[in-house]
Structure 1
Amino acid sequence: MAQAPHPQSGSPLPFADRIHGVTITHVWRWLALGWADYRRSGWVSAAYGGLFAAGGIFITFGLAWLGWPYLITPMIGGFLLIGPLLALGLYAISRAHAQGRPIGLIQALLAWRANTFHIMTAGLVLMLVVMIWARLSIVLFAIFLPYQSMSVDSFLAQSLTMAGISFTLFMLVLGAGFAALVFVTCVVSLPMMLDQKVDIFSAALMSVLAVVRNPAPMALWAMIIVAVIGLGILPLFLGLVVALPVIGHASWHAYGDLIAPPPAN
């Protein structure tokens, strides 16, 4: 993995000496390398993205069929929140490429076994965040629109009223807060837990330190992730066949540039 120059030193914070400084140029490089990895992997990355595109379609139509369309938007937001976990196999594909060895789809899907306990713990934490987000969506709908049924037709009918606009704006702000929290704590922590036998707390701390040290590049990276994944979701999730793998591969290169390897024993 290519490493960015200028690790921070002399800080009292643990692990701070392993955090590299990056620039805006690095961010565009990550995206280019993510695309290169996607092309290099052949059908494997496309199939990986296709599995999650199919899952998104199944969940969307399933919720509509069950009569719970009001959960579709929160679930799409939840999909974005657990994105770092979903991309775990893509990190493994990029790592295999860097090491010059082949990797198949099954190996990628089983990548969590590299650090089972802490990766599963991270997954449970992210699922808890999604559950809180979904529950808050329902509660806030009831608060802002107390006399409306929780249906798409009802929401659309109220969307241009003051209550509907207030609800939408509040949900956007709240969703951005949830997304920022997940981004800050997970932007390098999941790739790190795959690559090293590190615990979830240390990995999350290093992720936070990486964002704090590189606010402008990481803000740009967050916006790119939202834009690319959002565009992938719009055409009935089909764009995720490309969008999710490219962002996943690029995230691996972001980790490589941001975090120095552990010191040799």
Structure 2
Amino acid sequence: MEGHPYPDIRRVTVDQSTLWLAAGWRDFKANPVVSLVYGLLFTIGGYALVLGLGQMGMQSLILPLVGGFMLVAPILAVGLYEASRRREANETVRVGICISAFRRNPIQLASYGLTLLILYLTWLMLALLIFAVFYNERPPALDSFLIEVLVAPQAPLFLIVGTAVGGVLAWVAFSISVVALPMMLDRDVSAIYAMAASVEATRKNTKVMIGWAAMIALITLVGMATFFVGLAIALPLVGHASWHAYRAMIGSRP
């Protein structure tokens, strides 16, 4: 496994983010079956989450669970990174191969996944605490949940606090993810090394990475706003584009 020092980290420019999306879209079109299988799994998972929580009367968990999805999304997109990696290397791209991408670095990918899970659970606990502070009554019914919560007098402050806390955790997750997962597929590195390199890449390209994170969040939110249908395209696009962002900042192995 690789150790320090970090690999050469390139500086990137704001306009390159559109190139990453364009390259991601080419990967999507070149491997539509793999991309749509992953995308539909995200869509179905979104529906199952909302409907399941509604049936259990746990509507107050819907917003934090769905909102926290972006904290764990990077590990769920490993197969999409693998599809882009294989296409770049002129290797066969199939659903089964991409789903089994974890085999390339299983222990380190699992360790990284555990880190994201801890962040996700931290967000969930904080979100529930924030909700309890602002809304101490029984959660409203699913069909009126958003309306009743968002029209309450305390809604503006609730949204400000929740967004601030979620934003901090989302930035932490993004900083340790932006090149870490593609790197663990591309190189024989540890999770700690990959996360440290990812943080360094984010630090070296802070302004560009803020814009890239905002773009990812916007694309994901648009997908969610279409009742999760748009996630079938949005998340595979972001997953493929993330591989090209990694390549732009880290490059190929020497």
* Range class of TM-score, shorter chain: over 0.9
Matched residue, 1:256:
247
C-alpha displacement at 1:156, in angstroms?
Answer: 3.7
Equivalent of 1:51, from 41, 63, 68? 41
Under a length normalisation based on structure 2, what TM-score does the superposition of the two structures give?
Answer: 0.93
Q: Secondary structure at the match of 2:118?
A: helix
C-alpha displacement at 1:155, in angstroms?
Answer: 6.5
Matched residue, 2:67:
77
C-alpha displacement at 1:143, in angstroms?
Answer: 1.4
Query: Counterparts of 1:2-151 in structure 2 under 5 Å?
Result: 14-16=4-6, 18-146=8-136, 148-151=137-140
Report the Cα distance in structure 1 between the residues aligned to 2:147 and 2:229, rounded to whole angstroms: 25
Equivalent of 2:210, from 178, 203, 219? 219
Matched residue, 2:223:
232
Report the Cα distance in structure 1 between the residues aligned to 2:47 and 2:203, rounded to whole angstroms: 36
Q: Check if 1:196 corresponds to 2:179.
A: no
Contact 1:145-1:164 within 8 A present in 2 as well: no
C-alpha displacement at 1:138, in angstroms?
Answer: 1.2
C-alpha displacement at 1:223, in angstroms?
Answer: 0.9
Report the Cα distance in structure 2 between the residues aligned to 1:47 and 1:17, rounded to whole angstroms: 33
C-alpha displacement at 1:92, in angstroms?
Answer: 0.3
Structure 2 letter corresponding to 1:131: L
- Structure 1 residue runs of 5 or longer lacking an equivalent are 1-13
Under a length normalisation based on structure 1, what TM-score does the superposition of the two structures give?
Answer: 0.89
Matched residue, 1:157:
148
Percent sequence identity is 34
Q: Secondary structure at the match of 2:213?
A: helix
Q: Check if 1:167 corresponds to 2:158.
A: yes
Contact 1:94-1:249 within 8 A present in 2 as well: yes
C-alpha displacement at 1:166, in angstroms?
Answer: 1.3
Query: Counterparts of 1:204-215 in structure 2 under 5 Å?
Result: 204-215=195-206
Contact 1:18-1:261 within 8 A present in 2 as well: no
Report the Cα distance in structure 2 between the residues aligned to 1:261 and 1:65, rounded to whole angstroms: 48
Deviates more, 1:253-262 or 1:69-78: 253-262
Q: Check if 1:244 corresponds to 2:235.
A: yes
Identify if the C-alpha distance between structure 1 residues 89 and 17 changes in structure 2 by more than 3 Å, giving closer, same or farther: closer
C-alpha displacement at 1:162, in angstroms?
Answer: 4.0
Q: How many residue pairs get matched? A: 249
Identify if the C-alpha distance between structure 1 residues 34 and 260 changes in structure 2 by more than 3 Å, giving closer, same or farther: closer
Q: Secondary structure at the match of 1:110?
A: helix
Q: Secondary structure at the match of 2:176?
A: helix
- Structure 2 residue runs of 5 or longer lacking an equivalent are none
Identify if the C-alpha distance between structure 1 residues 188 and 223 changes in structure 2 by more than 3 Å, giving closer, same or farther: same
> What's the Cα RMSD here?
1.6
Contact 1:90-1:248 within 8 A present in 2 as well: yes
Q: Secondary structure at the match of 1:223?
A: helix
Contact 2:109-2:191 within 8 A present in 1 as well: yes
